[in-house]
Amino acid sequence: MLSLHALRLFVVVAEELHFGRAAARLNMAQPPLSQQIRQLEQFLGTRLFTRTTRTVELTLAGRVLLERAAQLLADAQAAERAIRQVAEGKVGAIALGFTSSAAYRVLPRILANYRREFPEVETVLRELTTDIQLADLRSGKLDVAIVRADQKIAEPALESFELEREPMLLAMGREHPLVRFDAVPMRELDGLSMVGFSPRLSPYFRNLCSRVFLGAGVQPRIEQESVLPTMLALVEAGIGVALVPASAAEMRASQVAYRPIAPMKHTRAAPIEAILHCVWSHSCGNPAAHALVKMLRGDHAPTA
């Protein structure tokens, strides 16, 4: 079989028409170069060069091979480059899942950085709840997922790391009495009309708020449950206040005020925070997915 290495040697000799200069250009001794050219001629069954003591010239067969060799080597280089790009995750496609709340701040930053670094990768986005994302990771429908979870995903088949955490803020109408506080005391939520998260569509935030209220010994009056954009519309309408992630604070900012929650006195309660994790499957064979995970590890260290 005609080897690419032999072709490369032949092309250099054909360009230089001098074995000494060709050997120097190839950083090798002249005798091995001459030997490999003779072996190539033996393989092809014809002479490629006419040699004299003073000159080296291409034969007709040599000129034909030179024309074809240039294209063969260019094709080989293009194939090698394409394979390397695939192996490095620079081309291809990736299925990225995310929770709706990640779209407010984290997802735009991820996509901007990723598309800048990997412009040739097609990104297929799927907005899903955490439970569906994890199921789709297991089945191979997703390559990488951005999920809400308080702790690292404890599954042998999945790997995860904390991507970002953000405080929860109290959202209220601009005229609400609690606007007077720089930080709203937790006791003020007891018996207060609130808009809560849907247990079906936003289970993570629903459970987070329930734990917070239970731990603080307060019992708000939940007037309505929904998803975040609708919740803020209800807050603006005066239906109640809502505990929401800080990344939502720019939504309806002209009609809705946002305040942090003051910690309970004489307690060691942890800050009220929502946490995002990046998750992927150990069995994922998509190089583009591994490139994304590597980028996220470096560019998105957890923030307090």
pLDDT tens string, the chain, 304 residues long: the values are 778 888 889 889 988 898 889 999 999 998 999 998 999 989 989 999 988 878 899 999 999 999 888 888 888 786 777 677 666 667 788 999 999 989 888 999 999 999 898 898 989 999 999 999 999 999 999 999 999 998 888 788 899 999 999 999 999 999 999 999 999 999 999 999 999 999 998 999 999 999 999 988 999 999 999 999 999 999 999 999 999 999 988 888 789 999 999 876 655 556 789 999 999 998 888 988 998 999 998 754 444 3
Separation between Cα atoms, residue 302 and residue 304, nearest integer Å: 7
Q: Which residues lie below 8 Å from residue 176, measured CB to CB, with a gap of 6+?
A: 238, 241, 257
- Surface-to-core class of residue 96, CB atoms within 10 Å of its CB (0-12 exposed, 13-18 middle, 19+ buried): buried
- pLDDT attached to residue 5: 87
List the alpha helices (DSSP H) in the chain: 4-16, 19-26, 30-44, 60-87, 106-117, 130-139, 203-216, 228-236, 287-299
- pLDDT attached to residue 300: 42
Which residues share a beta bridge with 127? 98
Answer yes or no: are the C-beta atoms of 136 and 153 closer than 8 Å: no
Domains of the chain: 4-88 (1.10.10.10), 164-274 (3.40.190.290)
The H or E element that residue 148 is part of is strand 144-148
